[in-house]
Structures are given as structure tokens and as C-alpha cells.
Amino acid sequence: MTTFPDNRVVIFDTTLRDGEQSPGATMTHAEKLEIAAMLDDMGVDVIEAGFPIASDGDFAAVSEIAKNAQTATICGLARANFKDIDRCWEAVKHAKSPRIHTFIGTSPLHRAIPNLTRDEMADKIHETVTHARNLCDNVQWSPMDATRTEWDYLARTVEIAIRAGATTINIPDTVGYTAPNESAELIRRLIAEVPGAEDVIFATHCHNDLGMATANSLAAVEGGARQIECTINGLGERAGNTALEEVVMALKVRHDIMPFTTGVDSRKLMAISRRVASVSGFAVQFNKAIVGKNAFAHESGIHQDGMLKNAETFEIMRPEDVGLTETSLVMGKHSGRAALKSKLAELGYEVEANQLADVFVRFKTLADQKKEIFDDDLIALMQDEERSGEDRIKVERLRVVCGTDGPQEAELTLTIDGEAKSSTATGDGPVDAAFNAVKALVPHDVVLQLYQVSAVTEGTDAQATVSVRMEEDGRIVSGASADTDTVVASVRAYVNALNRLLVRREKAGTDTREISYKDVG
């Protein structure tokens, strides 16, 4: 197990586990491997790759990530039972540096779920942590809902876990309940009062339900924690988790008052932020700290004047510190493949010859529709390229009739498992008509929870990014797409979500490889 100086904070990323639990954020096997490789490359210390007992797919992903990891410790999550722990070890044991993370809910509310007395739960903690340590010399233990657990019982269980062999004690604020002063004091008191605390690393895991996840995590570090659990873009259940990019840059920018370091290369933050947004279907809000589109944008006259005279007037960090580069090439319809490849590399996309050929065709099509191609246009184009993958349903042709006279009508052709099918439908507006045309070809009974349109860049020829979220029988999936035609982007986003839904159905064993569709064309 790697040891660090006292001022070194271990960055534990759980994007692939806790982050993926966010409704609709499920990633494919290949996407998980790609994100894990990016996390490893940027210097994340510990990657929680998944919950191996959850499914064969999760087990396979954790196992392959463990085999491929170069420097990061690979961790799997396990509940407090031997079966979970054994399955976790089977998945992570291939890593150069494996870790088992086991947990149990210790608050009164969580103790009531398995109906265990305090003593019964204490015995269970001792047995399961001991079992995990017999398998692996790097064991993390978490008392779930620690911040709502009675102090005396929390201290007791932490001591039991330490005595049983846990090397990291994680203190989760599972429902985002605590505040910074409480977060710091809880860690400080555990370190001061629990026997054996000096021999382990204390970690903090904060949720953002009250918008204080980053503040609570940094306060915990002030209190003595030396591991922060976080996710890219703050992805996670409910309001999300502590955002990795926020804590890394806070420690870097305010090193004067928080003299701690991490091993993360901050110049790679923007690239992984964009990739996670693309594969999860969760767009980054424009005003998101560090990685949001407006994080380094200045519109106010006073701000712009100050920036022109001295960038430090209104910027506490440089855009290049997080991987943003100034535009050096203006892209347009006369740009060639070499220029496109260079620009994509600037934006964090390394493309092989075959992919470049496909992207170049789409770039030229876009360049014919727009006078100037902005960086955000290229990012949207690449995200669309990544989403298409091995989709079973693809949009081939769409024509809509709309206006004040009505009726609004859509003619649509989809390729479904390689076979072209067409339909015509009407609706309350062109988007509704187009969605009805999709439903006519691929019958489904989903609830559309979200339909959101935003402009990628300025101008009347701007691309529109459309995001949708749909739910079927408790399964929630997201989809997104961008196009200069909002209706086209809408249909592609809808179909993107449908493709994700088909994958979820197959994983659940409720769908065969054959898609049921109506022969309406």
C-alpha cells in the first residue's frame, strides 16, 4: 500500500460506482474502461471501479479495469457479507494495487433495515472486515450515514473496524446532511479519541444535497482526513457527490490556506469532464465551477475591461490549468483533415485514422451549414460521434411540416437492426410529431421526464443540443444530440435514449435481440 506525506490528499474517484448510480447515467462496458484509463492517466490515486456483486457486467468491468490499471489502486465495493466481499476480491485481485471497500449502515435509520441490534452489527463489522483483510492487505471500511450515527456508536464501530484490519476509514455523509464545521470536528474527534486511529487513513465521502459537498470535504481535510471521495462533474445520486475538479483546484489555488497537495494533473480535467458528460448523458451546467462553459467567460463590460488589462483581475486560475486552450485555428469548410485532427487534439480528443475519416465527413457537412465552426461545435460533434457507437436504431431521414396552419407532420425513416423502416405521424408541433413517428416504428411505453434544448454557440446558424430523459418500469435513461436543426437533434436524442433503454432491458434480461416494430412504411 502506497504511503504519502502528511500533507498529501489521496483522490478516490467513484464516478464509475457512485456516479453511475445517478438515474440514467449507466455506462457501457467500453465506456467504463475508457473513463478508468483517463482517470488513471490523470493521476487519480484510487478508482472505485464498481460494485462487482451487482451484476455480471459490473464484475467484468471491474475485473478488466483492474487488469489494465497502470498506477491507480483499483477498488470494488462490497456490502458487509462474505459473498459480496469474495466477489469483490475476485474482481480486483488482478490489479497491481487492489482494494476492498466494505460498508454497513450504522445510523439508527440504517440499523433498522436489517433489524440488527448494536451488538449484532458490531459483530458483523468485525467478522466482515476481518474476512476482507484476510484476502487483501488494503481494506477500506465505511459506516454508511456516519454523520447521522450516534457519536458513541460511531466511535465504537470505527475502533472495531481498525482492530479488524481496515487500513482506510471512510466517514460518509450519505445524504448530504452535515455542515463544514461539523465535518471537520467529526474527523478531528475520531482521530483524537478512537484507539488505533493514528495508524489508518481517514477519508471523507460527501453528497451535495444541501450544496455543501465540496466545502464539507475540504473541511474534513482540515480536520485530518487525507482521502477525498469524489466524482467527475459531481456526478452521483440525487444532487450528486463532491466534484473532483472542485477539490483539486481548490487545493491548488488556495494552497496558501490549505497547504495540501494531490497527484492529479489538473490540465486533464476538461477533457475527462467532457467525456463523462458525453457517456453519462448528463450535460455540465453552464455555470458549473471549473469545467462549466461559463467558468472562464466574461460578458460584463467592467469584467471585460479588467480582463484585457490583467487577466488576474477576474480570474483566480488560468484556463490552461484545467485543460482549456485558446483558439489558434479558425475552422471552416476549407479546413483539411490535418487541421481538424490538430484542433481535436487541442480539445482533448485523440482520433485514429478511421475515426478521423468519419468525423471529417460530419465536420464538412456541418461546415456547409455554418459560416464558422467554434470549439463547442466540434465538442458537440465528437460527443454525437461517441454516442452513436453500435446503436441498433439509427435516424436515416426526417422531414417535418409545421407552421400556423397545421397539422404538424413528420415523415421519418429509421434503420432498425440494419433494416430501413418508415412512418408518418402528426402531433402537437414538429417535435411531438417526430417523436410520434418514432413510437410508430418502435412501440414503447416510456415517460418522457425531461426535454431540454440549449444553443451550443451563438448565432441563428448555431447548433442546438437537445437532452432527453425517459423512464420505463423504473429504468431511467438519458440521451443527447446536437444539430443545426433542432427537430433533427431532438429525434436523434430521443433515439439515443431508446438505444440506451434497449441495453438496459437486455442487462435486466427482459428483452431479446429482436426489436418489435410496426411495419408502417
**Residue set of the binding site for Mn(2+):** 18, 205, 207, 241
Residue 468, classed as helix, strand or coil, is strand
What are residue 393's DSSP bridge partners?
416
Please say whether the beta carbons of 356 and 460 come within 8 A: no
Strand 10-13 and strand 227-230: the pairing is parallel
DSSP 182: H
H or E segment and range at residue 276:
helix 269-280
Query: What would you measure as the largest C-alpha separation in the chain, in angstroms?
Result: 78
Strand 10-13 and strand 447-455: the pairing is unpaired
* Crossing angle for the helix pair 118-135 and 151-164, to the nearest 10 degrees: 30
Strand 447-455 and strand 464-472: the pairing is antiparallel
Please say whether the beta carbons of 476 and 24 come within 8 A: yes
Please say whether the beta carbons of 47 and 69 come within 8 A: yes
- Report how far apart, in Å, the C-alpha atoms of 198 and of each of 133, 224, 364, 485 are: 18, 10, 61, 60
> How far, in Å, CA of 481 to CA of 490, rounded?
7
Please say whether the beta carbons of 410 and 400 come within 8 A: yes
> How far, in Å, CA of 162 to CA of 448, rounded?
47
**Can you say which residues are annotated as belonging to the binding site?**
18, 205, 207, 241
Residue 26, classed as helix, strand or coil, is coil
* Residue 177, C-beta contacts closer than 8 angstroms, at least 6 positions apart: 147, 148, 209, 210
Q: In this structure, which amino acid lies at residue 459?
A: G
C-alpha cell at 14: 467513484
H or E segment and range at residue 465:
strand 464-472
Please say whether the beta carbons of 402 and 485 come within 8 A: no
DSSP 284: P
> How far, in Å, CA of 409 to CA of 401, rounded?
5
